Amino acid sequence: MERVKDKGTVIRALGAMSGTSLDGVDAAVLETDGVSISGFGPSGYRTYDAAEQDVLRAALGQWAGPTLEPALEVVMSAHVGLLSDFEDIDLVGFHGQTVAHAPRLQGTLQLGDGAALADALQTPVVWDFRSADVELGGEGAPLAPFFHFACAKWIGAEVPVAFLNLGGVGNITWVDPTRDAPEENGALLAFDTGPANAPLNDLMLSRLGQPYDKDGALASSGTVEEGALELFLAEPFFARMPPKSLDRNDFAEMVGLVRELSDPDAAATLTAMCAAGVAEAMQHCPSPPTSVLVTGGGRQNPVLMKMLEVSLDCPVKPVEAVGLDGDMLEAQAFAYLAVRVARGMPTSCPGTTGVRAAVGGGTLSAPNRVLSLP
């Protein structure tokens, strides 16, 4: 634990992320002192099978009740199985599975037991990253922006850039890399852009029994229903100034807007809604970014990427174009944040979540060493 808490020392942190797309668990190693990125290590992925996804889906939107216990078992089993494969790890960053998020009402809920995970892995674990931010008036999301700031430094950016994460929900981080620290005033602006892959994935599952629109094949054969798109953009969320965040199911009615459309037209329209939300978000950036670097599953949808290229006034490219891993960026982010939490450094600030002051969220759990005895 002393090494973990020793500021300035580069350690090997393992981050794990299970996103709102419910596809599985990403895990990745990052070498960092909590300020700069020193290196990227191995990564891994553990898919949720159809039965596990059904269990997790049943827990969405629930703050208590019988559906949470089996969902917790799925989350813990998947994480222990995947993370046990990694060696020489100093610290684990465990995000858990978000099942409910309403920061102005009940709060935020990520299923996961970091103390139990620390015991299982015999490694210190940082978890429950979002609660402290919400308790201090923040949105509790997005949390990756501090890592995006480190990434902008790592790629050598000298002018503002934006990182766009298209998972179940979309979020954007505008970064000024000339600033010295992410919590510095004006260094970051981050917020959710709107729904991303979740509504389209839900449509594909309900209509065709497929988990997502692979390569945008279905959307590419459809036509966007402009009336549905206009109704979508009339939602008050888009007029709100950031910071702002969403729960996965906040835009569940989107599927209703396309209910009468054919499968191709519905897919095309939901894809266009995602892109339109991003275009609306760009209006809030302090200055136009020189490029938008896309991470998350949405970057693998060529139809969505083309829509973004057409609607945005700057180059749009996957983060791989600058040497980053779009599949693992979120997992790497929670490895980075775990180091910051362990070393008493902030993980969010007014520009990222609207929290009243820079705050370091998260709980550090040390393993119960008794478990290692014969």
In order along its 374 residues, the chain shows pLDDT tens digits of 777 878 889 999 999 999 888 999 999 999 999 999 999 999 999 999 999 999 999 999 999 999 999 999 999 999 999 999 999 999 999 999 999 999 988 899 999 999 999 999 999 999 999 999 999 999 999 999 999 999 999 999 999 999 999 988 999 999 999 999 999 999 999 999 999 999 999 999 999 999 999 999 999 999 999 999 999 999 999 999 998 998 887 887 788 899 999 999 999 999 999 999 999 999 999 999 999 999 999 999 999 999 999 999 999 999 999 999 999 999 999 999 999 999 999 999 999 999 999 999 899 999 986 443 33
Superfamily of 156-322 according to CATH:
ATPase, nucleotide binding domain (3.30.420.40)
Q: Which long-range contacts (CB under 8 A, 24 or more apart) does 365-368 make?
A: 365/114, 365/115, 365/117, 365/118, 365/124, 365/125, 365/126, 365/127, 366/1, 366/118, 366/124, 367/118, 367/119, 367/121, 367/122, 367/123, 367/124, 367/125, 368/118, 368/119
One fold for 2-138+331-372 and 156-322: yes
Instruction: Give domain limits for the chain.
Output: 2-138+331-372, 156-322
DSSP letters spanning 206-260:
HHHS-SS-GGGHHHHTS---HHHHHHHHTSGGGGSPSS----TTTTTTHHHHTTT
Pick the CATH number of 2-138+331-372 from 3.40.50.11260, 1.10.760.10, 3.40.50.1360, 3.30.420.40: 3.30.420.40
> Which residues are paired to 92 by β-bridges?
14, 125
